[in-house]
Structure 1
Amino acid sequence: MSQLMFLMMSTLNSTIFMVMKHPMSMGITLLAQTVFICLITNNTSQNAWFSYILFLVFLGGMLVLFIYMTSVASNELFMKNKMSSFVILILMNGSFMLMFMLLDPMLLSNNCEDSMVMYKMNSSTSSLTMSLFNYPNNLLTLFMVIYLFLTLIVVVKITEFNQGPLRTTD
């Protein structure tokens, strides 16, 4: 049930992000999307360490974007659009109705989850580390490496001292 709820909220958050126009509201929506992605990752891989590191990496990237945004558009006014609020309200209601319609009593049983928890408790540390590089989680690890590389390139390009808002003042 929680997996379905996190997926629905993540989809709703992605849709809301397209409506946003102010950089600050986009940043808050991006932070909420990061939390949902980390919760989905934690439920999928049963490994809290990986989702914690993923959250810290996303948060670090968003801090760089926040610094860049405050230096570029520091005095931009935050205007609330009534039409976008109405669209967001309709999307939230629709997603919650869809989530509750898809709820199945079989999703609430924890028998499989209890056996997986017992298996994880009995496994050794090396098998938990190797699980990051096995099939279901290797895509997440590869995504993390690509994301870190692209973030490195973007940060280097943003903080170039010859041009842009972060140049040194002489």
Structure 2
Amino acid sequence: MYQFLTLMCSFLTINFIMTNHPLAMGLNLLMMTIMISMLCSFMTYSYWFSYILFLIMMGGMLILFLYVTSLASNELFKFNWLYLIMMLMFLMILMSMVYYMDNFFWFISNIETMNLNFYTNLENENNLIKLYNNPTMNMTLLMINYLFLTLIIVVKLTNINHGPLRQYN
């Protein structure tokens, strides 16, 4: 599963470079965020870090979607079938290479990763405790206050009576 997710992340990275429509880029970034958060959840003992990463990226994606739809709402989305067929063929070739490769190549470090996962699992149990202890407690409180102050400023700057970001004719 780990190899499949890393392969899909690399495929989505190549696909992100090739797209030029903002909504297609946003969809690609959303799928990449899901894949990376799944990879992070497989690597760590706790799912909270990947869940927080996913929620933060989704919040940013919602803001980007708002900007894109309000500023470039009339841009047409052209679907290139040749590009889709080429990318699917490339993905199938890569997946068949992963499937038919020798097991020695993928699982040579299985014992080493099991030992590494054991040590990281012991360290990850204390990661959330370190976030709210004395050295980082001040930084966490500063970030909470900064985000709250930014929220209040943005709400006060936007006027509800003027409508959306873009002025209509």
1:18 is aligned to: 17
In 1, are the aligned partners of 2:44 and 2:124 still within 8 Å (CA)? no
Q: Does 1:127 align with 2:126?
A: yes
CA contact (8 A) 2:8 2:35 kept: yes
Tell me which residue corresponds to 1:94.
Answer: 93
Q: How far did 1:160 drift?
A: 9.6
1:38–1:54 CA contact under 8 A, matched in 2: yes
The answer as to whether partners of 1:19 and 1:84 remain within 8 angstroms in 2 is no
Q: Please list the CA deviations of residues 125-151 of structure 1 after superposition, one character each: whole Å capped at 9, or x if unmatched.
A: 96252588xxxxxxxxxxxx9xxx9xx
Residue 61 (structure 1) shift: 0.7
Q: Which runs of 5+ in 1 are unaligned?
A: 133-144
Partner of 2:103: 104
> Structure 1 CA distance, aligned partners of 2:124 and 2:22?
42
Equivalences, count: 140
The correspondence of residues 14-163 of structure 1 with structure 2, limited to 5 A, is 14-102=13-101, 104=103, 107=107, 127-129=126-128
Given that residues 34 and 58 in structure 1 are in contact (C-alpha distance below 8 angstroms), is that contact kept between their aligned partners in structure 2? yes
Tell me the CA shift for residue 99 of structure 1: 1.9
Q: How far apart are 1:98 and its partner, in Å?
A: 2.2
Does structure 2 conserve the Cα–Cα contact (< 8 Å) formed by 1:17 and 1:30? yes
The structure whose Rg is larger is 2
* Structure 1 CA distance for aligned equivalents of residues 49 and 34 of structure 2: 13
Q: Alpha carbons of 1:60 and 1:87: their partners in 2 closer, same or farther (altered >3 Å)?
A: same
1:166 maps to a residue whose letter is L
Structure 2 Cα separation of the partners of residues 27 and 83 of structure 1: 21
| CA offsets 1:94-128 (integer angstroms, 9 cap, x no match) | 22112213462885xx9986xx68x96xx799625
Instruction: Give structure 1 regions of 4+ aligned residues with deviation exceeding 3 angstroms.
Output: 110-113, 123-126
TM-score for the superposition, normalised by structure 2: 0.64
Tell me the TM-score normalized by structure 1. Answer: 0.64
Identical-pair percentage: 30
RMSD of the alignment, in Å?
A: 3.8
